[in-house]
Chains A and B, each alone.
Chain A
Amino acid sequence: MMHLRRSPEEIATNRARYEEHQKKGLEFAPKALPGPSVLPAPAIDAASVIHQETIPGGWYWSTKLQRGEAIRVDQAEGSSTVALVAWNAADTSERINLVDTAKVQWTTALGKGRVIFSDMGRVMFSMIEDSSGAHDCLMGGSTAASNAAKYPGEKTRNTRDNLILVAVKLGLDRRDIPGILNLFAPVRLAEAGGFGWQGKRSNSGDYAELRAEMDMLVGFSNCPHPLDPDPAYQPKPIVITRYKAAAPTKDDLCRTATAEAVRGFENNALMQA
């Protein structure tokens, strides 16, 4: 098998450029990001509220968000995990992509100031507020099988089936369900590569606010996370408030915190031009 290798000079140039990006990604961005948002959540100006929905424990919901609108996801009655997926409303083949989101921001830890990418290198959401910093982009949601194993003998609803219902009711199908972002799921990896639930990172009353950076279809499922240590199936209601967000300023945190976000928003601008 013949193969012409790249020259040592070319390899050295590319390695130097990677290490420069890596240094900025790992050392600059965390300094620019603030800590968690304040608790309790400040009231949203009633005049800007478009809709408020309470998703009962175990259920699903979907909504359409226009660019510039935001949602507050609020753990109104106790610690709960909310699974979230999203599609570009104008072309649903573009959808939330969590592997890209983690990779391009050099972290699986999402929090205030971070952004969430589509598979097309564009920003779907800005995390403009977040009181917990405890979200999971790796493990996905519950399934009929995972619930049957965890809550034997009980009739329970699960995230996989909820998101099939969301997708199909939007005219999509099971092929269109992307990887899931779990809000309020304090999952972290131990050094050995195993997952753990750091329960203290999420409090009852935590909230996250996501600003839509393109027109989107957004789906939610409100079921316990597969790693949730509570042995009982008792998901609490989640309140989602859709509101008109303030227009981003020139120094908007999410648009300027990292070099990667800046370039992502440049890609958005090309789409919106």
Chain B
Amino acid sequence: MSDFIQTSPARSLQNAAQDHFIAAEAPWSGIVRKGQTIRIEDSFGQQAIDTLFYRADDFSERYSNQDTMRMQGAAYIGIGTKIMSNEGNVMLTMTADSCGRHDTSAGACSCESNTVRFGHGTKYLHACRDNFVLEVSKHGMGKRDIVPNINFFMNVPIKPNGEMTIVDGISAPGDYVELVAEMDVLCVISNCPQINNPCNGFDPTPIRVLIWGGEA
């Protein structure tokens, strides 16, 4: 883990509204209010952080990877990226990024897709989609509500001929992204437990989530 990096004069560890440590392989969810800033920190480096967003007062409006890519005209997430909903609204804007490599094309690992990709022997391994199912069920949602997500710090190059692979992440310990909420959102995270591809160096590690009020 690295030291706290102050990205705004008003933003310190002491005045964070929320401060969560999320264990390796674990899920988490929480509300980010309009105007608040959420920081997602890759505390140990090379950890993929699978993330979904839902409009807090109407879960039928949720993150859309296709709308986000279309609005950016690009396949990757970075500073300035507008996180779009399936209704065409901006949910959050990415305001800081110390890493520079985030995916939204490859989705979340699941027990079922693992069997196809890595063999039937990988069926009974903890997976992001199971984390998502457990976490969204706390909010009255189900599997049908789980849509293609953002993978912060996951490195998925796509070549002009379409070739797509997951390669080693470039994030260092303490790398972070910050997003300011443009509406009240429910943030759902799966701290990726995948050990069959290099999305987390085959070694899932803990992460940290901090949220500050609008003035910080």
A residues with CB within 8 A of B: 1, 3, 5-6, 10-11, 14-15, 17-18, 21-22, 26, 92-93, 95, 97-100, 102-104, 106-109, 117, 119-122, 138-141, 143-146, 160, 173-180, 188-195, 226, 260, 263-264, 266-267
Q: Smallest CB-CB separation from A267: which chain B residue?
A: B115
Determine whether the beta carbon of B88 is less than 8 Å from that of A11: no
* B195 interface residue per 8 A CB criterion: yes
Question: Which residues of chain B have C-beta atoms less than 8 A from A145's C-beta?
Answer: 88
Contact B66 A264 (CB under 8 A): no
Does A103 lie within 8 Å of B113, measured CB to CB?
Answer: yes
For A115, the closest partner residue in chain B by CB is: B116
Residue of A nearest to B118 (CB): A21
Which residues of A sit under 8 angstroms from B118, Cβ to Cβ? 17-18, 21
Contact B160 A191 (CB under 8 A): yes
Write the chain B residue with the least CB distance to A11. Answer: B202
> Closest 9 interchain pairs by CB?
A109-B162, A140-B66, A99-B107, A121-B112, A14-B202, A99-B148, A104-B117, A6-B203, A11-B202
Are B60 and A179 in contact, with the CB atoms below 8 A?
Answer: no
B205: min CB distance to chain A, Å? 6
A193 and B198 alpha carbons, distance in the complex (Å): 21
| Shortest Cβ distance from residue B67 to the other chain A in the assembled complex, whole angstroms | 6
Q: A108-B105, A190-B160, A264-B116 are in contact. Are A195 and B69 (CB under 8 A)?
A: yes
Chain A: minimal CB distance from B207 (Å):
9
Contact A106 B165 (CB under 8 A): yes
17 sampled A-B residue pairs with Cβ under 8 A: A1-B1, A1-B21, A93-B142, A100-B113, A102-B106, A103-B117, A106-B164, A107-B164, A109-B162, A117-B113, A119-B146, A138-B66, A177-B86, A180-B66, A190-B160, A193-B76, A194-B74
Cα distance, A195 to B206, chains bound together (Å): 34
> What would 8 more interface pairs be, CB under 8 Å, given A103-B113, A106-B163, A193-B158?
A1-B1, A100-B116, A102-B105, A119-B146, A121-B113, A144-B88, A145-B88, A189-B160
Asked if B29 is an interface residue, CB under 8 A from chain A, the answer is: no
Within 8 A of A (CB), among B134-163: 142-148, 158-163
Bound CA span A92–B201, Å: 35
Q: Chain A residues with Cβ under 8 A from B105's Cβ?
A: 99, 102, 108, 138
Identify the closest chain A residue to B1 (Cβ).
A1
Contact B73 A97 (CB under 8 A): no
A188 to B: closest C-beta gap in Å: 5
Q: How far is the CA of A93 from the CA of B145 in the complex (A)?
A: 9
On whether the beta carbons of B66 and A143 are closer than 8 Å, the reply is no
Q: A6-B195, A102-B106 are in contact. Are A117 and B164 (CB under 8 A)?
A: no
Interface membership of B37, Cβ < 8 A: no
Check if B115 sits within 8 Å of A3, measured CB to CB: no
Please, which residues of chain B bring their CB within 8 A of the CB of A98?
Answer: 148
A189 contacts across to B, CB distance below 8 A: 75, 158-160
- How close is A231's CB to chain B, nearest CB, in angstroms? 17
Neighbouring B residues of A104 by C-beta, 8 Å:
113, 116-117
- CB pair B120–A266 under 8 Å, yes or no, is yes
| Complex interface: chain A residues within 8 A of B66 (CB) | 138-141, 179-180
Report the nearest A residue to B166, measured CB to CB: A103
Which residues from A are CB-within-8-Å of B110?
100, 119, 121
B203 to chain A: which residues have CB within 8 Å?
5-6, 11
Q: Tell me how far the C-beta of B105 lies from the nearest C-beta in chain A, rounded to whole angstroms.
A: 6
Contact: A1 with B117, CB < 8 Å? no
